Amino acid sequence: MARRSRHRLLLLLLRYLVVALGYHKAYGFSAPKDQQVVTAVEYQEAILACKTPKKTVSSRLEWKKLGRSVSFVYYQQTLQGDFKNRAEMIDFNIRIKNVTRSDAGKYRCEVSAPSEQGQNLEEDTVTLEVLVAPAVPSCEVPSSALSGTVVELRCQDKEGNPPPEYTWFKDGIRLLENPRLGSQSTNSSYTMNTKTGTLQFNTVSKLDTGEYSCEARNSVGYRRCPGKRMQVDDLNISGIIAAVVVVALVISVCGLGVCYAQRKGYFSKETSFQKSNSSSKATTMSENDFKHTKSFII
């Protein structure tokens, strides 16, 4: 019984495959092809090739850009959008004369033609990658720092594709990624991250005073930010001590002044004056009350 059920399942699967192949042949849908990847440098040209049979008079060609929404690139034998002014058709292929970064993405060509089995449809997908040179990176360099502290310099570019790597320069001389391989006369406590663009001094010293600039570089090009000077000074211990002494003297003088005033009785005189003033007011009020009572009895 188990063998018979297995045979029946195999027969059903074979019938399903035959039906599916017959459907495929009748409508002429081609199997998906390997996706192409075209790489182009920004502002240069690129060719999007459609790998289909040769063009015939009855062939109908459409190019679409895929994404969140599908947009026509070539439709009804005419280039669409801004491709009208900077692209041309070469058989089934599109030659973009001036590639921009907004052109990057996936494209699909669709070629349909009548056949004996019906309408035959061929499809091909092309991915366009646009390489972009870095822009001038933004550099963050502190103008001043205290020796012995941790100082971090930052460099970043947001336009380069592929993402650039970063190199720091001091007074026009490139800093090594591994500072211990350089001269012993320079500070070797820094760490440089070429991926993120940070240059960190774990304990900055006066030797690190200078003009710093950063360069962003990828396979297309490179750009450098203007140099910025960082001044490193030692901590002024004598100045801090002098300031503390002055503040202590001011507090001492104020305390002595308060003690002197208390000894001279300035605070007690003020209190006795307030008491005499309040007693005189009370006497005046009692006299006024007596006069008022006397006039009432009369």
H/E element, 250? helix 237-264
pTM of the model: 0.64
Distance CA 143, CA 153 (A): 11
Cis bond upstream, residue 162 (ω within 30): yes
Is the Cβ–Cβ distance between 147 and 233 less than 8 Å? yes
Bridge partners, 65 (sequence order): 71, 107
Sole residue written with tokens 């990176």: 137
Sole residue written with tokens 């495929």: 24
Question: 194 is written with which tokens?
Answer: 């070429």
Question: 246 is written with which tokens?
Answer: 């002055």
Distance CA 114, CA 216 (A): 54
Per residue in 131-169, pLDDT tens? 999 999 999 999 999 999 999 999 999 999 999 999 999
Give me the tens of pLDDT residue by residue for the chain, a chain 298 residues long. Answer: 455 555 555 544 444 443 344 333 323 334 445 678 999 999 999 999 998 766 666 788 999 999 989 999 999 999 999 999 999 999 899 999 999 999 999 999 999 887 766 777 889 999 999 999 999 999 999 999 999 999 999 999 999 999 999 999 999 999 998 776 655 445 568 999 999 999 999 999 999 999 999 999 999 999 999 999 999 998 755 555 655 656 667 677 677 766 766 776 665 554 454 545 555 554 444 455 444 444 434 3
Bridge partners, 94 (sequence order): 48, 89
